[in-house]
Chain A
Amino acid sequence: MERYSLLGLVRHARHYHENWQRVWRDPAPKKAYDTVIVGGGGHGLATAYYLAKVHGVTDVAVVEKGWLGGGNTGRNTTIIRSNYLRDGSSHLYEFSLKLWEGLSQELNFNVMFSPRGVLYLGHTLHDMREIERRVNANRLNGIDAELLSAAEVQKLVPLMNCSPDARYPVLGASLQRRGGIARHDAVAWGFARAADAQGVDILQRTEVTGIRCDNGAVTGVETSRGFIGARKVACVAAGNSGVLAAMAGLKLPIESRPLQALVSEPLKPCLDVVVQSSGVHCYVSQADKGDLVIGAGTDSYNGYGQRGSFSVIEHTLQAVCELFPAFSRVRMNRHWGGIVDICPDACPIIGETPVRGLYFNCGWGTGGFKATPGSGYVFADTLAHERPHPLAAPFSLDRFATGALVDEHGAAGVAH
Chain B
Amino acid sequence: MFRIHCPHCREARSEEEFSYAGEAHIPRPVDPSSLSDSEWGEYLHTRTNPRGPHREMWVHTAGCRRYFNVLRDTVSYKILAVYPVGEMPPEQGEA
| Interface residues in B38-62 (C-beta closer than 8 Å to A) | 38, 40-42, 44-51, 54, 56
The answer to whether A401 touches B41 (Cβ under 8 A) is yes
Interface of A is mostly: loop
A382-402 contacts to B, CB under 8 A, are 398, 400-402
Beta-carbon contact of B45 and A253 below 8 Å: yes
Decide yes or no whether A243 CB sits under 8 A from chain B.
yes
- B47 with A255: CB separation less than 8 A: yes
- A242 near B37 with CB under 8 A, answer no
Q: What distance in Å separates the Cβ of B37 from its nearest Cβ neighbour in chain A?
A: 5
| Given A311-B16, A400-B41: A243 touches B51 (CB 8 Å cut-off) | yes
A310 within 8 A of B: yes
Known contacts A242-B50, A251-B48, A344-B45; decide if A304 and B75 are in contact (CB<8 Å).
Answer: yes
Give complex CA distance A118, B75 in Å: 34
Identify which of residues 242-275 in chain A touch chain B, using a CB-to-CB cut-off of 8 Å: 242-243, 246, 251-256
**Of A254, A300, A403, the contact of B19 (CB 8 Å cutoff):** A300
- Across the interface, which residues of A come within 8 angstroms of B40, CB to CB? 401
A216 within 8 A of B: no
Within 8 A of B (CB), among A322-347: 343-344
A398 to B51, CA, bound (A): 24
Please report the total number of A residues contacting B with Cβ < 8 Å.
26
Q: Is A102 an interface residue (CB 8 A)?
A: no
**Which residues on B sit within 8 Å (CB–CB) of A403?**
37, 41
Quick one: given A242-B49, A252-B46, A402-B37, are A301 and B20 in contact (CB under 8 Å)? yes
A161 interface residue, CB < 8 Å from B? no
Q: For residue A309, which residue of chain B has the nearest CB?
A: B1
Q: Is the interface of B mostly helix, strand, loop or mixed?
A: mixed
Are B54 and A401 neighbours in the complex by a CB distance under 8 Å?
no
Contact between chains at B49 and A300 (CB < 8 Å)? no
| Closest residue on chain B to residue A308 by CB atoms | B1
Q: Mark B61-74, 1 if CB is under 8 A from A, else 0.
A: 00000000000101
Residues of A near B16 (CB, < 8 A) are 311
Note all chain A residues with C-beta closer than 8 A to B15: 309, 311
| Residues in B whose Cβ lies below 8 Å from that of A251 | 42, 46-48
Residues of A within 8 A of B23 (CB): 255, 302
Contact A254 B49 (CB under 8 A): yes
Contact partners of A402 in chain B: CB under 8 A: 37, 41
Of A255, A300, A302, which is in contact with the most chain B CB atoms at under 10 Å from its CB?
A302
Contact with B along A302-314 (1 / 0, CB 8 A): 1111000111000
Given contacts A311-B1, A403-B37, contact A253 B47 (CB under 8 A): yes
The answer to whether A302 touches B74 (Cβ under 8 A) is yes
Say yes or no: A304 contacts B47, CB within 8 Å.
no
Q: Which residues of B contact A253 (CB under 8 A)?
A: 41, 44-47
Q: Which of A242, A252, A300, A305 contacts B20 (CB 8 A)?
A: A300
A309 CA to B15 CA, complexed, in Å: 9
Q: How far is the CA of A401 from the CA of B46 in the complex (A)?
A: 10
Question: What's the minimum C-beta distance from A5 to chain B, rounded to whole angstroms?
Answer: 44
- A252 — which chain B residues lie within 8 A by C-beta? 46-47, 49
B-side contacts of A255, CB under 8 Å: 23, 47, 49
**Complex CA distance for A101 and B41, rounded to whole angstroms:** 38
B68 to chain A, nearest CB (A): 14
Q: Can you name 30 A-B residue pairings with CB atoms under 8 Å?
A: A242-B48, A242-B49, A242-B51, A243-B50, A243-B51, A251-B42, A251-B46, A251-B48, A252-B47, A253-B41, A253-B46, A253-B47, A254-B47, A255-B49, A256-B74, A301-B20, A302-B23, A302-B54, A303-B77, A304-B51, A304-B75, A309-B2, A309-B15, A311-B16, A398-B38, A400-B42, A400-B44, A400-B45, A400-B46, A401-B40
Residues on B facing A (Cβ under 8 Å): 1-2, 15-16, 19-20, 23, 36-38, 40-42, 44-51, 54, 56, 72, 74-77
| Known A253-B46, A302-B56, A401-B36; further 20 A-B contacts with Cβ < 8 A | A242-B49, A242-B51, A243-B50, A246-B50, A251-B42, A251-B48, A253-B45, A253-B47, A254-B47, A300-B20, A301-B20, A302-B23, A304-B51, A304-B74, A305-B74, A305-B75, A305-B76, A305-B77, A309-B1, A310-B1
